[in-house]
Amino acid sequence: MKTIIEPFRIKSVEPIRLTSRPERERMLAEVGYNLFGLHSDDVLIDLLTDSGTGAMSSHQWAAVMRGDESYAGSPSFTRFEAAVKNLMPFKHVIPTHQGRAAEAILFSIFGGAGKCIPSNTHFDTTRGNIEASGAQGDDLVIAEGKDPQSLHPFKGNMDLDKLEAYLQEHGDAVPVVMLTITNNAGGGQPVSLENIRGVAALAHRFGKPFIIDGCRFAENAWFIKCREEGQADRTIPEIVRDCFAVADGMTMSAKKDAFGNIGGWLALNDDDLAEQARGHLIRTEGFVTYGGLAGRDLDALAQGLSEIVEEDYLRYRIRTNEYIVERLDAMGIPVVKPAGGHAVFIDARAWLDHIPPLQYPGQALAVALYEIAGIRSCEIGTAMFGRQPDGSEKPAAMDLVRLAFPRRTYTQSHADYIVEAFEEVVAAKDSLRGYKIVKEPKLMRHFTCRFEKL
């Protein structure tokens, strides 16, 4: 059979509300054309993020009931720890309430003024935690990773020459080398096993610990299996173990590739570092056997980790993105290629070239998608990054719109509906207009600013 189907059936459904276009136009005007201001029950298909929005399985809900809420030594923690160690063979596993809490603990140890921390691309919370400690984060992704049309199979790879030069130049100022798999801020593009090993070897040659930001480790392993020489016949857990075997630790958001609605962890091999991390954990998150989580969350994650590495799931997951990218590409819409693991990115600046960057072509597209079809996406461009620290404004590097897919939540007919919505946007394209921002806060304006249609 060649049709790739959703490898699950549905036991419990969540109704979604169909709204009319006049209703949506009214709601958009009310929230100043900022999609973050919408009530989610007024959204038909919500592609704002894949974080914490996935569907838990019946086995996970059963595990929730098994959860043990003892303050110390809960068997839920034992099951969680075993599930993590089964895939990521680290000595110490420290639960946290989500990924950024693991990062905050990590950089309370490794950060500080004058330090420099390289990665392929730091995710924004990672960068935020590095900078809050006084350190600086640097992105050393390969050049192909910044070219939306390059078909390189591993556009998330670290540039190893640049990393070597960086380690030579910054020497003792580098406390740790990071690598994000898949490269979220770079379009969900994967990192090859060869590159992971190359980064590890370089870090270790310079005496630096190597820490993986592993939020989408299973999607990354699937790309390795499909695209990397010699990996096709290996199982996903084998590939995952190989990825982490060369690292000294990891940070994780279990809201991504662990099928959690909440959760995360920090894992480390070094005993002294782990002791420092646990000290910080107890101060800020909770006791060492629950971090910031309930016992039932730990059990749901333990079960989720066994499901996320299933090949039928990963095939369906990655295929959905590829399908949408192929359809949009065929319509002549500029999309980031090849499709990433968790999201589809549209190059709104290239597509809506009659709207200048300072009139937010990404926002124009995101608003049109909601107005026309009730789909919520996310502008990643000049509205998000354009305001400069000195108060001036300039175009961001790119004006993208991201459609991020919650895990196991939507079906193929939703994918077809999304494609059809783009057909309507194609027809309306030339009539789409830019926006101006009429009210904005000082920081992170994209969450709360108000726009007016030009």
Ligand X SMILES: *Cc1c(COP(=O)(O)O)cnc(C)c1O
Contact residues toward ligand X (CB under 6 A) are 51, 98-100, 123, 125-126, 180, 184, 213, 215, 253, 255-256, 264
β-strands 264-268, 375-376 pairing: unpaired
Least Å from the CB of residue 125 to ligand X: 4
Least Å from the CB of residue 135 to ligand X: 16
β-strands 45-46, 210-213 pairing: unpaired
- Of 24 and 216, CB closest to ligand X: 216
Least Å from the CB of residue 91 to ligand X: 22
Helix/strand/coil for 448: coil
- Of 155 and 327, CB closest to ligand X: 155
- Of 98 and 195, CB closest to ligand X: 98
- Of 50 and 371, CB closest to ligand X: 50
Task: Give the other-Cβ count within 10 Å of 204's Cβ.
Answer: 14
- Of 24 and 100, CB closest to ligand X: 100
- For residue 212, the cross-strand partners are 179, 250
Least Å from the CB of residue 407 to ligand X: 13
- Nearest alpha-carbon partner for 191 in 152, 157, 237: 157
Name the closest residue to ligand X (Cβ). 99
Q: Distance between CA 445 and CA 99 in Å, rounded?
A: 23
Dihedrals phi, psi of 101, to nearest 5 degrees: -70, -40
- Of 257 and 399, CB closest to ligand X: 257
Least Å from the CB of residue 253 to ligand X: 3
Least Å from the CB of residue 260 to ligand X: 9
- Of 67 and 99, CB closest to ligand X: 99
- Of 97 and 376, CB closest to ligand X: 97
Q: Distance between CA 114 and CA 135 in Å, rounded?
A: 6
Residue type at 189?
Answer: Q
Least Å from the CB of residue 24 to ligand X: 28
Identify the helix (H) or strand (E) that includes residue 350. helix 348-351
Task: Give the other-Cβ count within 10 Å of 325's Cβ.
Answer: 21
Identify the helix (H) or strand (E) that includes residue 74. none
Q: Distance between CA 445 and CA 80 in Å, rounded?
A: 38
> Rounded to whole angstroms, what are the CA distances from 255 to 52, 77, 130, 280, 389?
4, 17, 21, 22, 31
- Of 159 and 213, CB closest to ligand X: 213
- Of 35 and 104, CB closest to ligand X: 104
Least Å from the CB of residue 46 to ligand X: 16
Least Å from the CB of residue 404 to ligand X: 10
Q: Distance between CA 317 and CA 315 in Å, rounded?
A: 6
- In terms of DSSP H, where are the helices of 135-267? 160-170, 193-205, 217-227, 236-245
Least Å from the CB of residue 198 to ligand X: 20
Beta strands in 230-388 (DSSP E): 249-253, 264-268, 343-347, 375-376, 378-380
DSSP class of residue 13 equals -
